[in-house]
Amino acid sequence: MSAENQLTDFTDRPWLDPDARPFITLQGISKSFGSFKAVDNIDLDIYRGELFVLLGGSGCGKTTLLRMLAGFETPTAGTLSIDGADMSSTAPYERPVNMMFQSYALFPHMTVEKNVAYGLKRDGVKKAEIKQRVDEMLQMVELQDFRKRKPDQLSGGQRQRVALARALIKRPKVLLLDEPLGALDKRLREQTQFELMNLQDKLGTTFIVVTHDQEEAMTLATRIAVMDQGVFRQVGTPAEIYETPATRFIAGFIGSANMFDGSVEQQRGNLVSVRLNTGDLVISVEHDEPIANGTAVTVAVRPEKIRVSKQQPEPGTDNVMRGSVKEMAYLGRNSTLRVAIEGGQVLEVNSQNRYRARDGQHEFDWDDQVTVSFPPASAVLLTA
Ligand SMILES: Nc1ncnc2c1ncn2[C@@H]1O[C@H](COP(=O)(O)OP(=O)(O)O)[C@@H](O)[C@H]1O
Ligand SMILES: [Mg+2]
């Protein structure tokens, strides 16, 4: 290992390694249904062992993309390779891929173990080996004690695990999961997210997961592709997408963001002053690339990065705005405030509840006069 490699460990971030070979490569992949483009010219590299999430609203083309990977749908244009092999003339059952469907599609009349064994049996695997592999798989998803039950005798979470076991028993190199937790209620969903991550980590199988739930995507993913109308708007780690959204669309789609519209007044080093379109405010934001004066921009700031106070801020504090509390939601751990600032814009601000509320007395109340502020490094400058 060279000294340079020791400094930069790419083990968990192969997409940053210039020498890493992608495991799945899509080049210019499109799919049209008649004149409608469901998937539009997508390029993507996925690396071995990733838990890659396709995130987007209903109808944006997520399932269509998965189905092309599985071979159930033929691309209208583009090429697709898995583990170095071009897949254009490879039938679904010959691909090193398995797909877990949204509906699970379990056989209702078969027991758990028969459901899990089904694929191996159909492939003519010997009985003794089937038994051993089914045992191993049921243990992995913690369903050993439920092997003789039928799907209708199981909870939603257990059915989900049977479907997982059935999809994994043939040891695919890639598992495609279409909304795998969609049928579970919120609490079980959150617990199952961790089970799914542990299982993936244990097996090292490459997972591609489709979801429309942004929190789920943030929890599960090594990287997320945010999909909209058949195209990828941004691909990155959860932190990259949250902290450095590429566009207003992404900033608004993932989590919430306060957006200030204005134009660039000047840039000094990596500090840009932006004159807002409303009111008389100039705010400063860090931005590394050069940007011309007069450029129309949006400054995005996350609610938790804004400080709210009833006191006057220390002299020299950046981006101070005066406002009044218009709405308040107490959420226990924190409160969400809506603060109307000079010029009329209403900001969403999160405030940690550091002190216990007594007799209904909270730190902030309706119509409180407050100041809000945020450091230039906590804001993102967007031009698209
Ligand atoms: N077989 C098909 N024939 C015609 N239109 C289709 C077909 N499959 C999907 N579509 C359309 O393609 C778009 C993307 O669908 P889909 O990939 O299922 O979206 P998602 O999974 O993101 O909700 C939708 O507008 C859908 O109606
Ligand atoms: Mg779908």
Residues 6+ apart with CB under 8 A from 131: none
- For 202, the enclosing helix (H) or strand (E) is helix 186-203
Protein residue closest via CA to atom 1 of ligand 1: 33
Domain stop point among 231, 249, 267? 249
Ligand 1 in reach of 33 Cβ (< 6 A): yes
Q: What is the pLDDT of residue 237?
A: 97
Q: Is residue 130 part of a domain?
A: no
What's the confidence (pLDDT) of residue 274? Answer: 97
Q: Within this chain, do residues 212 and 270 fall inside the same structural domain, yes or no?
A: no
In-domain check, residue 139: no
**Is 300 close to ligand 1, i.e. is its CB under 6 Å away?**
no
Assigned domain for 137 exists = no
Q: Residue 38 Cα, ligand 2 centroid: separation in angstroms? A: 11
- The band of 353, judged by pLDDT with boundaries at 50, 70 and 90, is confident
Q: Is the CB of 38 under 6 A from ligand 1?
A: yes
Quick check: 211 and 231 in contact, CB under 8 A? no
Q: What is the mean pLDDT of the chain?
A: 92
88: domain CATH number is 3.40.50.300
In this structure, the answer to whether residues 324 and 208 fall within a common structural domain is no
The yes-or-no verdict on residue 275 having pLDDT over 90 is yes
Same domain, 178 and 298: no
Written as one string, the DSSP assignment of 316-361 is T-SSEEEEEEEEEEE-SSEEEEEEEETTS-EEEEEEE--S--BTTB
Which neighbouring-strand residues pair with 120? none
Q: Give residue 330's pLDDT.
A: 83
Of all residues in the chain, the percent with pLDDT exceeding 70 is 96
Does 131 fall in a domain? no
198 and 73 within one domain = yes
Q: Tell me which residue range forms the domain holding 374.
A: 256-308+319-354+365-382
Of the three residues 233, 249, 265, the one that is the final residue of a domain is 249
Q: Looking at the domain assignment, is residue 132 inside a domain?
A: no
Does 86 reside within a domain?
A: yes
* 1-17 mean pLDDT: 71
Query: Could you report the per-residue pLDDT of 147-202, keeping only the tens digit for each?
Result: 999 999 999 889 989 999 999 998 899 999 999 988 788 888 888 899 899 989 88
Which atom, in ligand 1's list, is nearest to the CA of 73?
Answer: 1
Instruction: Measure the CA–CA gap between 177 and 164, rounded to whole angstroms.
Output: 9
At 3, the pLDDT band (50, 70, 90 cuts) reads very low
pLDDT score, position 1: 44
The answer to whether the CB of 322 falls within 8 A of the CB of 342 is yes
Tell whether ligand 1 has an atom less than 6 A from the beta carbon of residue 351. Answer: no
Q: With a 6 A CB cut-off, is 230 part of the ligand 1 pocket?
A: no
Is residue 185 a contact partner of residue 209, using CB atoms and an 8 Å limit? no
Q: Total domain count for the chain?
A: 2
Domain match, 213 and 346 both: no
Q: Is the CB of 64 under 6 A from ligand 1?
A: yes
Q: Examine the pLDDT at 70 and tell me if it is beyond 90.
A: yes
Provide the pLDDT for residue 359: 65
Instruction: Indicate if ligand 1 lies below 6 Å from the C-beta of 58.
Output: yes
- Measured in Å, residue 64 CA sits from the centre of ligand 1 at 6
Q: Which residues pair with 86 in a beta bridge?
A: 81
Which tokens hold the place of 234?
A: 């941004």
Give the least confident one: 1-5, 289-293, 371-375. Answer: 1-5
Q: State the pLDDT at residue 360.
A: 66
Mean pLDDT of all residues in 277-300: 94
Identify the residue whose C-alpha is closest to ligand 1 atom 8. 64
Looking at residue 267, which CATH number applies to its domain? 2.40.50.140
**26, two tokens:** 């899509």
d(CA 175, CA 167): 7
Percent share of the chain, pLDDT over 90: 76
**Within this chain, do residues 334 and 376 fall inside the same structural domain, yes or no?**
yes
Shared domain for 234 and 275, answered yes or no, is no
Indicate the range of 118-122, 165-169, 240-244, 279-283 predicted with least confidence: 279-283
**Ligand 1 contact via 226 beta carbon (within 6 Å):** no
Q: In terms of pLDDT, which residue wins out, 145 or 189?
A: 145
Is residue 176 located within the same domain as residue 244? yes
Task: Specify the ligand 1 atom closest to the Cα of 34.
Answer: 4
Same domain for 244 and 273? no
Residue nearest to atom 6 of ligand 1 (CA): 33
**Domain match, 231 and 87 both:** yes
| Residue 60, ligand 1, Cβ within 6 A | yes
pLDDT at 352: 82
Do 214 and 242 lie in a common domain? yes
Nearest CA to ligand 1 atom 7: 33
Phi-psi region of 289 (alpha: psi -120 to 50; beta: other; left: phi over 0): beta
Residue 116 lies in a domain: no
CA of 47 to the centre of ligand 2 (A): 23
Compute the distance between CA of residue 15 and CA of residue 225 in angstroms, rounded to an integer: 13
- The residue from 227, 249, 271 where one domain ends is 249
337 and 205 in a common domain: no
94 pLDDT above the threshold of 80: yes
- Model pLDDT for residues 190-241, shown as the tens digit of each residue: 888 998 999 898 889 999 999 999 999 999 999 999 999 999 999 999 999 9
